[in-house]
Amino acid sequence: MPDEKISLAHGAGGAAMMKLIADIALKEFSLKRAGEIGLDELDDGATIKIGDQTIVFTTDSHTIKPLFFPGGDIGRLAISGTVNDLAVMGAKPLAMACAIVLEEGFLIDDLRKICQSMDATAREAGVPLITGDTKVMERGALDGVVMTTAGIGSAKTPITDRGLKPGDKIIVTGSVGDHGITILAHRKSISIDVDLRSDVAPIWKTVEAALEAGGVTAMKDPTRGGVAEALNEMASKANVGILLREADIPMLPAVRSASEMLGIDPLQITNEGKAILSVAPERCHDVLTAIKKTKYGQKARVIGEVTSDNRGMVILETLVGGHRLLESPIGDPAPRIC
């Protein structure tokens, strides 16, 4: 429709955003280099062949509200998000760039704190921030600050999100729902006995350990739309089914409690320090053991397997023994979450 307008759902990582990309971006941008992973693959990044090297490139924007939250801030989020997009494509981060758009009146001390957080996270990930840009918009034209980061990495063998094969095991590298539920609980001042903290973190070392163990067939970063969106994308692209066991999905009691209070499915909400891996069954034990030795993989679990049934769908075996379809959300339950 000529008068159709953008809604918050279009930026939430669910079905509405995927339709927008398919209807607009994929139709308007058509140039692609042969043999490379490009925009039409809708993966976490794209590849560029330079001689015998494969370079992975990715970019991301960050509009989270609030800017500072338990466990992190927009600066840590910006670095981690880009590092993780490279990581799940099998790429070691090499360098990053960042563009910052500030609102007139933004506190310089807050900007300093954000930059310090970015530097600390980049040092943790072992990736230098080498270039950037700064713009300022008039008061009221922007809500504080918006950041865009881009990163390049090097991959021996790029990993896509569509390489799943029947029989593969599905691993998640830690507890799910931590970031999204923390942000929502913080916004709504929900008091819980156990403190909620975002999981935002750069996970290259965890992914690198899995790759060195061998047998990884596909990976995905379960950010917007959460585990549900990531697994549905993976199943659809590979034309396979996925069977999950709810009892095996790691989830903090505080996340479960807050989810119930908010009426939100924690499987459909953003994570910022986790990866989903599809692993050949004969290598699953070795991969899981390697992941658990890393800082951000200690709570990793096998949560299901890839099947040849129910192609393109994700089926959840519930705690009571029944089965239900785990669908992609139309949009994220909350805007401005990453």
pLDDT per residue as tens digits for the range 78-121: 999 999 999 999 999 999 999 999 999 999 999 999 999 999 99
Q: Where are the beta strands (DSSP E) in 194-334?
A: 216-220, 241-245, 276-279, 301-307, 314-317, 323-325
CA-to-CA dists, residue 318 to 109, 173, 252, 315, angstroms: 48, 20, 17, 9
Domain boundary among 107, 129, 155: 155
Report if residue 333 sits inside a domain.
no
Domain match, 224 and 291 both: yes
User: What single-letter DSSP state applies at residue 224?
Assistant: T
The CA-based angle 226-230-164, given to 5 degrees, is 150
Mean pLDDT within 24-45: 59
Last residue of a domain, one of 98, 127, 155: 155
Residues 190 and 295 in one domain: yes
* pTM of the full structure: 0.90
Q: Is residue 2 part of a domain?
A: no
Cα gap 245→296, rounded to integer Å: 22
Which pLDDT value is given to residue 329?
83
Same domain, 201 and 292: yes
Question: What is the model's pLDDT at position 55?
Answer: 92
Question: Residues 111, 224: one domain?
Answer: no
pLDDT per residue as tens digits for the range 305-319? 999 999 999 999 999
Specify the CATH number for the domain of residue 203.
3.90.650.10
Q: Do 186 and 292 sit in the same domain of this protein?
A: yes
- CATH number (domain holding residue 94): 3.30.1330.10
What is the tens place of the pLDDT at every residue in 233-283? 999 999 999 999 999 999 999 999 889 888 899 999 999 999 999 999 999
Is 50 inside any structural domain? yes
Contact 149, 97 (CB under 8 A): yes
Name the domain count of the chain.
2
Structural domain of 216: 169-325
Q: Cα–Cα distances in Å, from 148 out to 110, 236, 243? A: 17, 29, 36
How many Å apart are CA 140 and CA 129, to the nearest integer?
29
Let me know if residue 338 belongs to a domain: no
Integer angstrom CA distances of residue 162 from 196, 216, 259, 277? 33, 12, 30, 11
